[in-house]
Amino acid sequence: METQVDLIGSRLGQLVLNGSVEEIQDADRKSNIAFNINEDSKRDLIQEMMVEYKYDKSPRAPSGHIRYILCMDIEATCHADLPFLQDTHEVIELPVILVDVYEGRTIDEFHTFVKPTRDRILSSYCQTLTGIRQDQIDSAPSFAEAVKLLDAFMLKHQDKLKPLPNAETEMLDKWRFSEPRNYVWVSHGRADIEHFFCRRSCRINRIRLPDYLQGQYIDLKCFYQTSLKIRSGLRLIDMLSSLRLQFEGREHSGIDDARNVARIMVMLVHRYNSVLQCNRSIVMDRRLIYTARSL
């Protein structure tokens, strides 16, 4: 008789991970293991299998033309007495994690603190939340300088990222580039790219959103919901917990959050067979007018 330890490598185990409830129940009737699977219990069983049972950890190449993901999690100026998403947020930490999703590994990391242009004195609330000190901001590059550093990071990897990130790519229409990219940006929600980076810091500093950031990207919250059919628990720590992973680092540290975004994406692609599909798009013209929408 099949044991539960052997289950993960079996046909039934693969159905539990990837199949519908009906397929699992049909396979269950033909096996000697009684699961009594339903929609509510399937996710719990998957979580137990991911943690407690042994399985093949070799990465599996995802389908599609996207090979690389660039995970970004920005920290921005904030105040305890001002509501979120008001015009008060400038980028103060800019991290990017470059991941080869075919191999499931991190290739490189980019990180810099950023000196805000208008709100140069961090509130005590902001320092406590993010762990960023005022002296780190005082000695940090300006936003314009930080964007140039990010440009250099992208060019450093132009042998991998196609089309070349330093070229202004022709757009087929307002939302899609004529040549498919083999990389995609990922952020935990819409605020990082659309609000902190584009709406606030780009416009304050009169800098157009770089071409390699324009176009379609993945909002991890929506991607996670679609992949696991889950509507709640969209904080990073909740997503990790649902995947039986521990948060690594300090919450609201941009670089640590970005690393955890990368871990979640790799898990969703390699263990849940999620297809990398963009769900948001943003464009900014030369007049610094930007538009964003869901796909």
**Residue 62 gets which letter from DSSP?**
P
Q: Give pLDDT, residue 84.
A: 65
CATH 3.30.420.10 residue window(s) in the chain:
68-294
- CB atoms under 10 Å from CB of 208, counted, come to 17
Which amino acid makes up residue 129? Answer: L
Please report the pLDDT score of residue 160 as a whole number: 95
> Is the CATH number 3.40.30.10 carried by domain 68-294?
no
Predicted pLDDT at 7: 37
Residue where the block lists tokens 């009169």: 206
- Give residue 212's pLDDT: 93
pLDDT at 81: 83
Cβ neighbours around 39 below 10 Å, total: 9
CA geometry: angle 277, 288, 253, nearest 5 deg = 55
pTM: 0.78
Write down the pLDDT at residue 176.
Answer: 57
Alpha carbon distance 74, 128 (integer Å): 16
Half-sphere exposure of 130 (CA within 13 A, CB side): 26
Distance CA 94, CA 68 (A): 19
Helix (H) or strand (E) holding 219: strand 215-219
What b/e readout covers 116-130, taking b as 16+ CB neighbours within 10 angstroms? beebeebbeebeebb
H helix runs in the chain, sequence order: 4-7, 11-18, 21-29, 39-52, 124-130, 134-138, 143-156, 203-204, 220-228, 236-242, 254-271
The tokens of 266 are what? Answer: 């790799």
Q: Any residues with CB less than 8 A from the CB of 64 and at least 6 apart, and which?
A: 275, 276, 277
Q: From CA 158, how far away is CA 218, in angstroms rounded?
A: 21
The predicted structure's pLDDT at residue 50? 43
Please list the pLDDT of the chain residue by residue as tens digits (295 residues).
333 333 333 444 444 444 444 554 554 444 444 445 555 555 555 454 443 333 344 445 555 689 999 999 999 999 988 776 666 799 999 999 999 999 999 999 999 999 999 989 999 999 999 999 999 999 999 999 999 999 999 999 999 999 876 656 555 555 555 568 999 999 999 999 999 999 999 999 999 999 999 999 999 999 999 999 888 889 999 999 999 999 999 999 999 999 999 999 999 999 999 999 999 999 999 999 999 999 9
Specify the pLDDT at position 261: 98
Structure tokens, 49 = 């299998």
Q: With CA atoms as reference, report the closest residue to 55 among 120, 105, 6, 104.
A: 6
Nearest to 209 by CA among 142, 292, 279, 110: 292
